[in-house]
Amino acid sequence: MLQVRHLEKIVEGRSALAIDALDVAAGDVIAVIGPQSSGKSLLVQLLAGLMPPSGGSAVLDGAPILAGETAKRARERGPIGVLLADDLLYDRMSAAGNLAFYCRWQGLPAGRAGEALALVGLSDQAQTVVKKLDPSARRRLAFARALLGRPRLLLLDRPVLRADFETQRLFARLIRQAAEGGALVLLTDEDLAWAGTCATRVVELQDGRVVNCYALRPPGEGGEGGDEGAPERMVPFKVPARKDDRILLYDPGDILYATSRDGRTYLRTACEEAVTTSTLQELEARLAGRGFFKAHRAYLVNLQHVKAVIQFSRNSYLLQLDDTSGSSIPLSRQSEKALQDLLGY
């Protein structure tokens, strides 16, 4: 059992996180949901012992989690597996070399590296230098590192960041398997679009405070890969974005397209435009199966709002949308051929 009591962190004179009570039992998968700067990552770092709290405590199986504790003390208390938003990999080492280094550092059997690579589907890339891996493969490797110690507590900060759809499915399955094996799992995300496929309980954070808690399903029930015949829980799907001082939550069906410019990603609806913290690649993975199509390297379009495909020259195309202003977005030649195959025109 993980027991959190009156846990608080003061940052620059402000209470950035204050959680009165949170219990996580064996088999629980707790999804901590909230917008950017709500305290999700801070909670993971405190529970991982990466920084000291300003007050309160976090106790795992009767032993306090202490910031800066030695590897020996951590093993006595019980292993904690951690995946942060940053992958924190050694780019010049191979995938296998990264895990082997961690095994030596933590005093783990060397064979764990190969087992973990197999779990995340990277056995065939074991000798590939990390800097040559694609973003999803790097995320898988970072996840594998979190699993090496067969952790009692698994802390995952936005685990599907930069992950493609297949990697998201894999992570959900591995998380459910860990919980079924008796692990305690706490993960964070901005919404339940993916987290709802594996979570058993939800804790909503806003400005570092818990504003809502509720159960999704009993441990082991429902979701992809769950028990046959278990009822599937439908969870709200919203895409968060920011405009002025508001967090806006968009229904995917209302989004005309997403575009990337000047290092930021924008969502465009029929009446407004807002900035989202997700990259275009992350949106593509999150909106997979919902009618969105990569029309151009800088555009992800909702095909339900496409009115016409316009060809200006042999290699020049536009997609005309059905909004009142008749918006149009570029369509690359390669994407036009893919769209032909997809729609059969």
Q: What are the backbone dihedrals phi and psi of residue 171, each rounded to the nearest 5 degrees, phi first?
A: -60, -40
User: Given a cut of 50, is residue 224 above it in pLDDT?
Assistant: no
Read off the pLDDT of residues 316-339 as tens digits, 9 standing for 90 and up: 899 999 998 889 999 998 899 989
Residue that wins the pLDDT comparison between 45 and 235: 45
The answer, yes or no, to whether residue 314 has pLDDT greater than 90, is: no
For residues 294 and 191, the model is more confident at 294
> How confident is the model at residue 74, as a pLDDT?
57
Nearest one of 68, 57, 54 to 12, comparing CA atoms: 54
Bridge partners (DSSP) of residue 17 are: 9
**Would you say 152 and 80 are in contact if contact means Cβ atoms under 8 Å apart?**
yes
Q: What is the pLDDT at residue 73?
A: 53
pLDDT at 23: 95
3-state SS assignment for residue 38: coil
273-276 sheet: strands from edge to edge = 246-250, 239-243, 273-276, 264-269, 255-261, 299-302, 292-296
Mean pLDDT of the chain: 88
Please state, for a pLDDT cut of 90, what percent of the chain lies above it.
65
3-state secondary structure of 192: helix
Q: Where are any strands of DSSP class E within 244-305?
A: 246-250, 255-261, 264-269, 273-276, 292-296, 299-302
Distance CA 220, CA 290 (A): 27
The encoded tokens of residue 90 equal: 């050694």
CATH homologous superfamily of 2-215: P-loop containing nucleotide triphosphate hydrolases (3.40.50.300)
- Band (pLDDT 50/70/90 cuts) for residue 313 is confident
Residue ranges covered by each domain of the chain:
2-215, 249-343
How far apart are alpha carbons 87 and 200 in whole angstroms?
26
| CATH code, residues 249-343 | 2.40.50.1020
Among left, alpha and beta (phi > 0; psi -120 to 50; other), residue 155 is beta
Predicted TM-score (pTM) of the model is 0.67
Model confidence over 191-215: pLDDT tens digits?
887 888 899 999 999 999 999 998 8
Q: What is the pLDDT of residues 139-190, one digit of tens each?
A: 999 999 999 999 999 999 999 999 988 899 999 999 999 999 999 999 999 8
Distance CA 220, CA 177 (A): 9
Q: What is the pLDDT of residue 69?
A: 66
- pLDDT tens by residue, 246-290: 888 998 889 999 999 888 999 999 999 999 988 888 888 778 767
Whether the CB-CB separation of 319 and 302 falls below 8 Å is answered with no
219 has a pLDDT exceeding 60: no
Contact between 216 and 200 under an 8 Å Cβ cutoff? The reply is yes
